[in-house]
Chain A
Amino acid sequence: MPFHNLQELRHSASLATKVFIQRDYSDGTICKFLTKFPAELDSRIERSLFEETVKTLNCYYAEAEKIGSQSYLEGCLACATAYIIFLCMETRYEKILKKISMYIQEQNEKIYAPRGLLLTDPIERGMRVIEISIFEDSGSTSSSSTGSSPSSATAQ
């Protein structure tokens, strides 16, 4: 039976395999993931949707790690208070991580779970990989044509 939502995926599906999207170090040590489409997902999801997800995640991380006026200000203010302010204030990076977590949750609900896939937030894997769990497609093989909402790809 095709998966319609995240709840079904969690409770009744059995895991087939996992794919790990590796880090892209071409721009240095900043957090960025490769947009290369893994072969295992070929039959499960459209290439464009996958690339869109990874590119959006890369944008979020780039914004978090950007060295600009905001990071200078935060750094100087924190230094002036001997970093005690960090005990009560959330850093910019942490705020963006929350946004990323919500984005991944939304992507899972709208795009990945209906296709029998599940994204894991990279922070739970040490920011090393994006883990994509592939669940067994016990129903039809063309699950991508049923129960999917194609217009939600651009949702932000």
Chain B
Amino acid sequence: MSAVMITRKVTRKWEKLPGKNTFCCDGRVMMARQKGVFYLTLFLIVGTCSLFFAFECPYLAVHLSPAIPVFAVLLFVFVVAMLLRTSFSDPGVLPRALPEEANFIEMEIEAANGNVMAGQRPPPRIKNVQINNQIVKLKYCYTCKIFRPPRASHCSICDNCVDRFDHHCPWVGNCVGKRNYRYFYLFTLSLSLLTIYIFAFNIVHVVLREYRNIFEHVVSLTPHCTVLEVLVCFFTLWSVVGLTGFHTYLISLNQTTNEDIKGSWSGKNRVQNPYSHKNFIKNCCEVLCGPTYPSVLDRRGVMLEDSTRPTPSDASAASTYKSTNPVSQTTKSSAPLIPNEHTPEEAKPSIGAGTQKSTSSPKEEKPPSPTSPNAVAPAVIKESAH
């Protein structure tokens, strides 16, 4: 057996991932497609802090204390680190179902629905689960072909289902979900502190300078950059501090922005939040001090292309394999699931039609698209069957 050496670069799994994400640094960085507002955020933070370090800090270090710029530097580094962590990490994207899994779920749905009369609309695909003695409805995602886990939602901007979906934030250029929510919260919190800090010391600087000038009968005009910094900080304060307060409230109740907007747990007739521990401290601990969940996407895994296998017309993710995966799928497995003696009679003829049904159904029902509290996001399409 002669080995043919093909000199081509290795294909990593991130290159074939469906969804509207952009990847950098060979799959290490994952962001949404629109990054313009993220660059603005970065520019505002770095720009304002640079002005502060260049113009205010020398004066304050000499006339007040050298600890002031030192603390400002530490805070600035923390803010930027949190911003980059939130923006660059996988928010908790759920990979789409491979064809076999999608077909298996279709079979289960067909079996559960029974016979649907011709021309009649099939019932909505919902699964009921009991969590902490409350009934929670799991919805089927037509794009990802899975029943969404509880608290997961499909982001239409990134075109992915995200676990514990909070919202899509254009300011960080990424979704906020299970994996990066704590970094997002720490970003808003530390940014609030930084803004208050810079704002306060700008005022102190202006007061000190004017006081000195009056004492020495020197005329001076408050430097332009100080005014600029005060303006930026003033407007940032109202939005960021408000947002931090809102998220602190959500964390104490163990709710997501998405659930709050949809009113999932509010109102008398609605189900009470089954995830809350009914204890402020416990809820905070779970969200902020819980384990760090790993990414299930395996962006940097190497893809093995099976040359004997024809390219499937279904999701491109079907051809991804981890290099250690022992199962090499033959052509036979790309065909619809073979019914065995346990398949209910109604499901058997519909198995072949199952793949056609799942591709045509997105035209009938739109997947729900959540909103972002930071206004720049596009218009929201409210789901009708809720």
Binding site for B on A (CB under 8 A): 6, 9-10, 14-20, 23, 25-29, 39-40, 64-67, 71-72, 74-76, 78-79, 82-84, 86, 91-94, 97, 108, 118, 120, 123-129, 131, 133
Let me know if A76 and B101 touch, CB within 8 A. no
Q: Which residues of B contact A20 (CB under 8 A)?
A: 101, 104-105
Query: Does B131 touch A at the CB level, under 8 Å?
Result: yes
What's the Cα separation between A123 and B298 when bound, in Å?
9
Question: Could you tell me if A10 and B98 are in contact, using CB atoms closer than 8 angstroms?
Answer: no
Within the complex, which residue of A82, A84, A133 is in contact with B327, where a contact is CB–CB below 8 Å?
A133
B151 touches A29 (CB 8 A): yes
**Could you tell me the distance in whole angstroms from the C-beta of B95 to the nearest C-beta in chain A?**
4
Main secondary structure of the interface of B (DSSP, over half): loop
Query: Are the CB atoms of A75 and B288 closer together than 8 Å?
Result: yes
* Sample of 7 further A-B pairs with CB below 8 A, known A9-B326, A10-B327, A78-B292: A15-B332, A23-B149, A28-B275, A29-B163, A71-B289, A72-B289, A128-B94
Name the segment of B47-55, B202-210, B230-238, B335-343 touching the other chain: B335-343
Q: Name the A residues within 8 Å of B330 (CB-CB).
A: 14-15
- How far, in angstroms, from A6 to B327 measured CA to CA in the complex? 10
CA of A26 to CA of B136, assembled, Å: 10
Q: B325, A120: Cβ atoms under 8 Å? A: yes
Question: Which residues from chain A contact B132 at a C-beta distance below 8 Å?
Answer: 27-28
Q: Contacts A18-B100, A20-B104, A75-B288 hold; do A10 and B296 have CB atoms under 8 A apart? A: no
**Residue pair A40, B340 in contact (C-beta under 8 Å):** yes
Distance of A26 Cα from B275 Cα, bound (Å): 11
A128 to B148, CA, bound (A): 9
Q: Which residues of B contact A79 (CB under 8 A)?
A: 186
Q: Which residue of B lies closest to A42 (CB)?
A: B342
Given A14-B330, A120-B325, A129-B101, CB of A66 within 8 Å of CB of B291: yes
Give the residue among A23, A40, A74, A124 with the most B Cβ atoms within 10 A.
Answer: A124
Q: Check B78 against A82 for contact (C-beta < 8 Å).
A: yes
In the complex, how many angstroms separate the beta carbon of A132 from the nearest chain B beta carbon?
A: 11
A142 to B122, CA, bound (A): 41
Interface residues on B, range: 35 or more
Q: Does B146 contact A (CB under 8 A)?
A: yes
Q: How far is the CB of A36 from chain B (nearest CB, A)?
A: 13
| Bound CA–CA A92/B289 (angstroms) | 13
Q: Which of B78, B129, B294 contacts A25 (CB 8 A)?
A: B129
Q: Do A93 and B101 touch across chains, with their CB atoms under 8 A apart?
A: no
Task: Return the contact of B95 from the options A9, A40, A118, A126 (Cβ within 8 A).
Answer: A126
The answer to whether residues A127 and B296 also contact, given A14-B330, A29-B164, A93-B291 and a CB cut-off of 8 A, is: yes
Is B293's beta carbon under 8 Å from chain A?
A: yes
Chain B residues with a Cβ under 8 A of chain A = 77-78, 81-82, 85, 94-95, 97-98, 100-101, 104-105, 129-132, 136, 138, 146, 149-151, 163-164, 183, 186, 274-275, 285-286, 288-294, 296, 298, 322, 325-330, 332-333, 337-338, 340, 342
Interface pair B149/A83, CB less than 8 Å apart: no
Across the two chains, which residue of chain B brings its CB closest to A86?
B292
Q: Are B325 and A67 in contact (CB under 8 A)?
A: no
Residues in B whose Cβ lies below 8 Å from that of A16: 338, 340
9 closest cross-chain pairs (CB), A and B: A82-B81, A126-B95, A75-B289, A25-B129, A126-B296, A39-B342, A15-B333, A91-B292, A72-B289
- The docked-state distance in angstroms from the alpha carbon of A125 to that of B318 is 11
Whether B95 pairs with A94 at a CB distance below 8 angstroms is no
Question: Of all chain A residues, which has the CB nearest B285?
Answer: A67
* Distance in Å: Cβ of A94 to nearest Cβ of chain B: 6
